[in-house]
Structure 1
């Protein structure tokens, strides 16, 4: 969310008024500061994206993540007892309290799963819980909650004591006093907490009757935003707060009424003033997240964004040891600053003047209230003198120069211990790290890793938060190169996600490195100084400093630099070429991953390990699959022109173009790769007919070595013929592709149908497990071994039981529409709906029985066989060619015989068929995917509050408040994909959005 400068100015005044000085870098709050302020753009951390816009939830309808983040902050704090030591506070203990009966609902579990992605040795779960309160209030247009860092995570559950809806007034007052808040503050905190979110009927059926409100979710007030509607509607009416009116009264669960009347509504009456409400909430919520045990925790000063902050600084000893590469970024806060240029002046390792290094713009980023520009450093320094610290000079557009010297200390950088990232590697459960250590250091070098290990004790009450487990080893000293000794060390690991590593020697270290950015092949540091003249910055043999302090080169013996190229091999994969997307679907549709700030070919290869193919598109999008879907064909190599954001020497596809790789074992041993030089254009491929090649649903595809001319791509359709088709990649001898459908049996269990939840409890209540990133039916079956029934709900929730509880009844198969995140060919229930299985033979009626690959199962789910993600094309066994075709079924309403442009969708009007931007998505506010069932109405709901939204590729929904550079209006006929969830609507096309604007 962007705010006007007036608001930003007030924030600046607010911070100045508190007397908070800029902290000295590096600082203990650096990781927290990054996560707090870099929500989108270059080097963004994406924390705020989970609650943007305010109404958003990635877990389906009837959820509001911002409300859940606000709620978990209170529940974590609420077990505090200020009369005893240690007295708790915001300490992350809620991760061990999810099954104590006081923390009902999935929101706490899913929130902790989300926070776990950001959790590491420098950022605690407790700080993330506090940060979640700041982010949720800010994204919903509430006040800026001052944020401090330094909270320490608990290792066990706290005592019972979270206020419950049935508690009487005296109990509630006593509970808040135990937390350190008086009666007035109790009322304030309740009102400020209940301005967001509501009550779920499934969790509290005696407060909200199931089936009486949309999605069984009743809001506390009439808005989704942070405002005083909760107070004004209570005082002036009409009040719809389920904790104040309705069936909660008879059930004595109307705790908001009990709380608000504790002082005769005096406090709540004051909160009907909007300014008062914001001021009070800012204060009380700050106090809530700053409730910590002072004997254990010392909170930092209030965190304000750095005006200037180094990011990702890295030294690397180059071949021969005479030169050190210095790279990284300088982040400059541009909220109220217009920058012309940025340079740094550095001191050498002995404190003498070293020279000046100019920078170039790397990218921009933004948070809720601030914008930033990153200025890249890429310089080579003599290893004998090197660098020890630097000062930053920021020149604005008027010519005024600001000097930033890190509170007089200079920004430090040590060259005593250097991790050699180009030579280090990560592969097959083993990490090998190479480091250069100054020969003057006598302490042996050590190497350590920190893994995020899933908690395993006490399942299913296992904590959603992983444990941090560190391992270290002494490194082996090798050759001396220049003034450095080279060390190496290896360690095995079990979990690569979030894996960090570092090297130390005595008081010096190079630590907190992201292991997933390493390549898969290690190498050695060269002992010879290169003679190439292609160095970007300066030579290695003679460096002088001009009178202006700018580093200049005086020799031709420069250090060789990597060359931007299409990588021929990455791990076990071989480059196939530049491929188009498929017809009406993704070329690779099994899994997808996104990293617009740091994607590399190696990262995508790691994400897609085990798949036959992977490809990188749009710079930051990684796709995996075992088959290249119909319509994806080889195109000109020059089409894949986007440079990888995580490695400027690699290409990462382009718009509707994939940098495509295939498992080398699937390629013909006699085939050779086409040259990837800039003078060549790979434009054709052939199908290998060798029977030794194994691949699901299509023959192996390799690059042709017979041509470099641009021509239509072709495929050999059968091993017995040379005739071709320009639209199909299927072999006549290929097995049909797997399709989405109902699995009749899973691990000895038989499908029973789509079932509702029970009346006042879960349909299956014996045990529960959660895996939103990767749930499959097989995983749930394994978790529920020994139980009579199990079912998957909401895509990632697994429930077990020996009986189906009262009120759970069969529902329409179309209700269970969520696709399993771990297997795109399986269904995993939906909101309040379970795909239910029972041990042994089926008792379901034959009318609900389908096969996993039949089109009838697709129809039963409300999905037309024309849905592009589900169609399969198998060419005939004859020697003739055939073009791609799909079967169609008519589901048109009587008043409409075919798809048409809808002029209005809710509060939005049709904007036109819009292209994507130049090297960037046209709309970058938020993104949602639903390839099986996207509709215009769904996208409008997902993007509610944004100025623009558009649907692309049939199943991709993009939101934003402005169109990015390069996005222009296209021909209406360009947007021709029909929506998979409504074949009477248009949902864009490849690189085209059916776009709407807020009216």
Structure 2
């Protein structure tokens, strides 16, 4: 894939301080996440379908998800009629009416169903399918190296099929021109749109046998130009230069009179096409035209401003009443955009519920993420507040590595936190076997309104790929009191389809604890005041650090430390597997829950698939076969603790905790664990353990970390670990510390990361230890977390 062109950038990319963030929370927050946080910590998984541009659809090498997303947007838009007000017809445009039109002969191919099914997974009360169609085009275009296509929100989904009128390859120029005029585009704009839309992808022989002859192209997929997976001007330059391979401009389409690209390009004797035969002009014109295309909407729809990434944005904020009712836990993350400058620290300063000054809350780096044009760091926090004084708002102070300090106050109103009603996730639960969901909430006793549980329930539709969404409200029943709060509860039953995708709010008067998800609930409701592996969560990422103790094994011990689960829901543990070579090991479906992922949750998400696995703590993948290059790795590589169950492992960076049929189980040798003490500038805690996997590291307030080493008797496959890098000696694979980075002196991040370059960078700052972690999402091919030192050898997760 070609590098992304840098000539067109997001508004404010170079000067973010000149543009204010939206006032948080905004109705567009979910779509903002989808658009800008595409990979890494907190990523939703939507953009992963088109990153890289060459990602196959449904695992079929003859299909491209990126091309299908662009095609879906055009087909949904192309029945628009801007003259509808005077003719009495339906206006159309980007309205998701396409999901009711898949039996039409105008919409041929599996890509429509696949794409709309994908969008249905992300459809919610905050994200219409129509907005997802528009966003999908923007993501696909940019991922393929094309221009930024600004994304405005507010589209409304149609409730029925629209009129026919998608341009067909056999049409004459006269018909094409009139169809595009109906959409709002003149002849030149028609040519631009066709060229832009056909910059990636191609034509399938199975769908259009009179255009592409079966057996003449790999996978029966004829590309539009010689750069199948790159959004560039080759569709134009090759056509003008007489070297085109476009199946809609030459070949069998001539005899079948279906050369639609030749027909449209020649509409003005190639004059328009000749104006976009350079990379810069092609991207510039396509950015404008594709934006205009996705903004063809009915006049009753009012689109908002184009989305732009927040500079700072709260995530996962949650208040949870603690045992006795005298204290409240306040947890969450702060996302900071680091595109234009690295961050060294983030603090929160809050006001209590009376408006009086509270305390300062410190944060620690919880994870990093990337977008197609941006980078982000997430800073997690956990504080205990007095339930009487509590909290009402906070400001965020960001310290940059340059020494500059900026305080963000949410456009003068502060980042508001209501404490009148709060979900108690540890006391709430969802039984996947029966579908019974119990929700418990704490409501301030001064509230005049009893709370209600408001659910947004998805229902599968047999003839429509995206589900229906209906709202329902349930009264909650008062129970015991705890401090200044009264506990309320209610129960309902979800269908199997709704188990992992139901969103809900708890409301008491004007106070709302909103946008919770059923996948964030544990399987057991803990009595109020008891501990639980569940935690209060939202649909975004939360702090992922988990502390676990180590112990020696016995014949039948009570489990107190994480361990491999031999079987989960009828699936058998197969081992810790690498990702494939330039492909996902499992690519049929993906689900993300960085807050409360468990092995059981992933198994439930992947019912019906042959294999499933959990990666990076919160990413669940499903499939019926393993991608090429996915091989078994040492079991100790899968060392991330499941956020929803601290006794389970949920893979690691580019490592899958893989489950499948018993017959596919691969034997792997037991790995021994040996702890080795390392002398550093901070105290080191020595922990010994005998188990099949290494335990996670623990950190004291003085900065100590737990270090152990693993060795496997199995012959290693794939990348090897060098014993030395210059004067540095390999120490081992280590976890991050609890609530802090293991190494804090300096950090560097770039796409061409190697052990040698990291060693050089850390030598320049006089470090005594260096390590690489999680590679770089888009390009890293070696990703084992490693620590190197001049003095000793150690192994950590």
TM-score range, shorter chain: 0.7 to 0.9
1:449 is displaced (CA, Å) by 2.1
> What are the within-5 Å matches in structure 2 for residues 512-527 of structure 1?
512-526=515-529
2: CA distance between counterparts of 1:413 and 1:120?
23
Q: Is residue 282 from structure 1 mapped to residue 294 from structure 2 by the alignment?
A: no
Q: Deviations over 1:469-499 (max 9, x none)?
A: 3332100011121111110010111021311
For the pair 1:134 / 2:138, whether they are aligned, the reply is yes
Aligned to 2:25: 26
SS at 2:563 equivalent: strand
Q: Give per-residue Cα distances to partners, 1:475-531, cap 9 Å, x unaligned.
A: 00111211111100101110213111221111111121011121111123239xx9x
Q: Distance in 2 between matches of 1:30 and 1:280?
A: 29
Instruction: Pick from 444, 447, 451 the counterpart of residue 445 of structure 1.
Output: 451
1:261 corresponds in structure 2 to 266
The alignment partner of 2:254 has SS state of helix
Structure 2 length as normaliser, TM-score? Answer: 0.73
Contact 2:8 2:148 in 1 (8 A): no
Distance, in Å, in 1 between the alignment partners of 2:612 and 2:140 is 36
Instruction: Determine which of 242, 248, 252 is the counterpart of 2:253.
Output: 248
Change (3 A) 1:920 1:158: farther
Between the aligned partners of 1:11 and 1:437, the Cα distance in structure 2 is: 43
How far the C-alpha of 1:184 sits from its partner, in A, is 1.1
Alpha-carbon distance between aligned partners in 1 of 2:609 and 2:293, rounded to the nearest angstrom: 47
Who is 1:234 aligned against? 239
List per-residue Cα deviations over 1:238-257 (Å, max 9, x = no partner).
Answer: 12211111121221111111
SS in 1 for 2:237: helix
SS in 2 for 1:586: strand
User: Is the partner of 1:7 in helix, strand or coil?
Assistant: coil
Distance 1:620 1:301, change over 3 A: closer
Say if 2:436 is the partner of 1:430.
yes
Alpha-carbon distance between aligned partners in 1 of 2:139 and 2:615, rounded to the nearest angstrom: 30
Is residue 468 of structure 1 aligned with residue 469 of structure 2? yes
Taking the TM superposition and a 5 Å limit, the aligned residue runs for 1:556-635 are 564=548, 578-579=563-564, 586-587=574-575, 595=592, 597-598=594-595, 599-601=597-599, 603-604=601-602, 606-607=604-605, 619-620=617-618
Check 1:647–1:333 CA distance in 2 against 1; reply closer, same or farther (3 A cut). farther
Q: Distance in 2 between matches of 1:414 and 1:333?
A: 26
Q: Partner residue of 1:92?
A: 96
Task: Write the distance in 2 (CA, Å) between the matches of 1:586 and 1:650.
Answer: 15
Distance, in Å, in 1 between the alignment partners of 2:691 and 2:302 is: 61
Q: CA offset at residue 317 of structure 1?
A: 0.5
What is the alpha-carbon distance in structure 2 between the residues aligned to residue 640 and residue 14 of structure 1? Answer: 37
* Residue 389, structure 1, aligned to residue 408, structure 2: no
Structure 1 residue 920, shift from structure 2 partner? 9.4
CA contact (8 A) 1:199 1:220 kept: yes
Say which of 499, 504, 508 aligns to 2:507. 504
> Structure 1 CA distance, aligned partners of 2:342 and 2:16?
24
Identify the residue that residue 411 of structure 1 maps to in structure 2.
415
Quick check: 1:593–1:621 contact (8 Å CA) kept in 2?
yes
SS in 1 for 2:333: strand
Distance 2:465 2:508 in 1: 35
Work out the CA distance in 2 between the residues paired with 1:390 and 1:186: 51
Inter-partner Cα distance in structure 2 for 1:191 and 1:24? 39
- Between the aligned partners of 1:254 and 1:418, the Cα distance in structure 2 is 61
Q: Distance in 2 between matches of 1:500 and 1:14?
A: 33
Relative to structure 1, the CA distance from residue 226 to residue 9 in structure 2 (aligned partners, 3 Å threshold; closer, same or farther) is closer
Higher RCO (CA 8 Å, separation ≥ 6 residues): 2
Q: Is the CA contact 1:618–1:920 (under 8 Å) kept in the aligned structure 2?
A: no
TM-score by length of 1: 0.59
Equivalent position to 1:220, from 224, 229, 252: 224
Matched, 1:961 2:779: yes
CA 1:622–1:452 in 2, change beyond 3 Å: closer, same or farther? same
Gaps of at least 5 residues in structure 2 are 532-544, 578-584, 624-630, 663-686, 694-708, 724-729, 737-750, 755-775, 788-795
C-alpha separation in 2, matches of 1:662 and 1:176: 52
1:651/1:659 contact within 8 Å kept? no
Q: Distance in 2 between matches of 1:162 and 1:659?
A: 44
Task: Give the CA deviation at 1:158.
Answer: 0.8
* Cα distance in structure 1, aligned partners of 2:777 and 2:407: 39
Instruction: State the alpha-carbon separation in 2 of the partners of residues 24 and 201 from structure 1.
Output: 50
CA contact (8 A) 1:564 1:651 kept: no
- Match of 1:111, SS? helix
Structural mapping, 1:875-894, within 5 Å: none
- Report 1:166-245 matches (<5 A): 166-224=170-228, 225-245=230-250
**What is the CA–CA distance in structure 2 between the aligned matches of 1:181 and 1:260, rounded to whole Å?**
15
Cα 1:421/1:2, change in 2 over 3 Å = farther
1:470 is paired with a residue of what secondary structure? strand
Q: Given the superposition, is the C-alpha separation of residues 35 and 11 from structure 1 closer, same or farther in structure 2, using an over 3 Å criterion?
A: closer
Q: Deviations over 1:316-335 (max 9, x none)?
A: 01111111100000000001
C-alpha distance 623-34 of structure 1, shift in aligned 2 (>3 A): closer
Kindly provide the CA deviation profile for residues 609-648 of structure 1, in whole angstroms up to 9, marking residues without a partner as x. Answer: 89999996764576999xxxxxx99x99x99753334567
* Partner Cα separation in structure 1 for residue 607 and residue 137 of structure 2: 37
CA distance in 2, matches of 1:56, 1:38: 18
Q: Using the alignment, how far apart are the partners of 1:472 and 1:273 within structure 2?
A: 56
Give me the whole-angstrom Cα distance separating, in 1, the residues matched to 2:337 and 2:392.
24
The answer to whether the 8 A contact 2:562-2:646 is kept is: no
Match of 2:320 among 306, 316, 319: 316
State the SS of the aligned residue for 2:147: coil
SS at match of 1:108: helix
Residues 8/647 of structure 1: CA separation in 2 closer, same or farther (3 Å cut): farther
Output the CA distance in 1 between the equivalents of 2:279 and 2:546. 58
> Is the CA contact (8 Å cut-off) linking 1:130 and 1:289 kept in structure 2?
yes
Output aligned runs, 1:962-977, within 5 Å. Answer: 962-963=780-781, 966=784
Distance 2:564 2:611 in 1: 12
User: How far apart, in 1, do the equivalents of 2:74 and 2:366 lie?
Assistant: 40
Q: Deviations over 1:840-870 (max 9, x none)?
A: xxxxxxxxxxxxxxxxxxxxxxxxxxxxxxx
* CA distance 1:387–1:303, shift in 2 (3 Å): same
* CA 1:2–1:359: 2 relative to 1, 3 Å: farther
Alpha-carbon spacing, 1:581–1:181, altered in 2? closer, same or farther (3 Å): same
Query: Structure 1 residues 160 and 683 mapped into 2: Cα distance closer, same or farther (>3 Å)?
Result: closer
Hey, what does 2:740 align to over in structure 1? none
Correspondences of 1:299-378 after superposition (within 5 Å): 299-378=303-382
Report the alpha carbon displacement of residue 176 of structure 1 after superposing the two structures with TM: 0.6
Is the Cα–Cα contact under 8 Å of residues 642 and 919 in structure 1 kept in the other structure?
no
Deviations 1:549-584 (A, max 9, x none): xxxxxxxxxxxx99636999xxxx9999734999x9
Q: What CA deviation, in whole Å up to 9, does each residue of 1:112-143 have, x standing for no partner? A: 11112211111111111101111111011111
Deviations 1:264-284 (A, max 9, x none): 211011111222111110100
Asked if the contact 2:393/2:417 (under 8 Å) is kept, the reply is yes
- Distance, in Å, in 2 between the alignment partners of 1:959 and 1:372 is 12
Q: CA deviation at 1:448?
A: 2.3
Confirm whether residue 53 of structure 1 aligns to residue 52 of structure 2.
Answer: yes
Match of 1:37 in 2: 36
- Output the CA distance in 2 between the equivalents of 1:167 and 1:623: 43
Gaps of 5+ in 1: 457-461, 531-560, 626-631, 664-677, 685-709, 714-725, 728-900, 902-909, 922-944, 949-957, 970-990, 992-999
SS in 2 for 1:364: strand
SS where residue 642 of structure 2 aligns? coil
Q: Counterparts of 1:404 and 1:244 in 2: how far apart (Å)? A: 55
